[in-house]
A and B are shown apart, each in its own frame.
Chain A
Amino acid sequence: MDLSLETRTEGDRTIVVVGGEIDVYTAPKLREQLIDLVSSGAYHLVVDMENVDFLDSTGLGVLVGGLKRVRAHEGSLRLVCTQERILKIFRITGLTKVFPIHASVDEAVAATE
Chain B
Amino acid sequence: MPSVELRFSAVPSHVRTARLIASTVGRRSGLDESLVDEVRLAVGEACARAVGVQRTHGVTDEVVVTFADDHDRFEVTVADHGQAEAEVALADLVEAAEGLDGTLPAGFGLAVIGSLVDDLDVKSDAEGTVVRMRWPLAATPKS
Contacts and interface: CB of A to CB of B under 8 A. Distances in A.
Contact of B94 (A25, A88, A98): A98
B51 interface: yes
A61 B108 contact: yes
Interface in A1-39: 21, 23-25
Contacts of A93: 90, 93-94, 111-112, 115
A73 interface: no
Interface string B1-27: 000000000001101100100000000
A24 B15 contact: yes
Size class of the A contact interface (CB-based, 8 Å):
20 to 34
Interface of A: 21, 23-25, 54, 56-58, 60-61, 64-65, 67-68, 71, 85, 88-89, 92-95, 97-98
A64 B104 contact: yes
A95 B44 CA distance: 19
B99 to A, nearest CB: 9
Contacts of A57: 45, 48, 104, 108-109, 112
7 contacts: A57-B48, A58-B48, A71-B100, A93-B112, A94-B90, A97-B98, A98-B98
Given A71-B100, A85-B37, A24 B94 contact: no
Interface of B: 12-13, 15-16, 19, 37, 40-41, 44-45, 48, 51-52, 90-91, 93-94, 96-98, 100, 103-104, 108-109, 111-112, 115-116
B112 A98 contact: no
Contacts of A24: 12, 15, 48, 51-52
B40 A54 contact: yes
A60 B100 contact: no
Given A24-B15, A92-B112, A60 B104 contact: yes
B136 to A, nearest CB: 19
Contacts of A65: 103
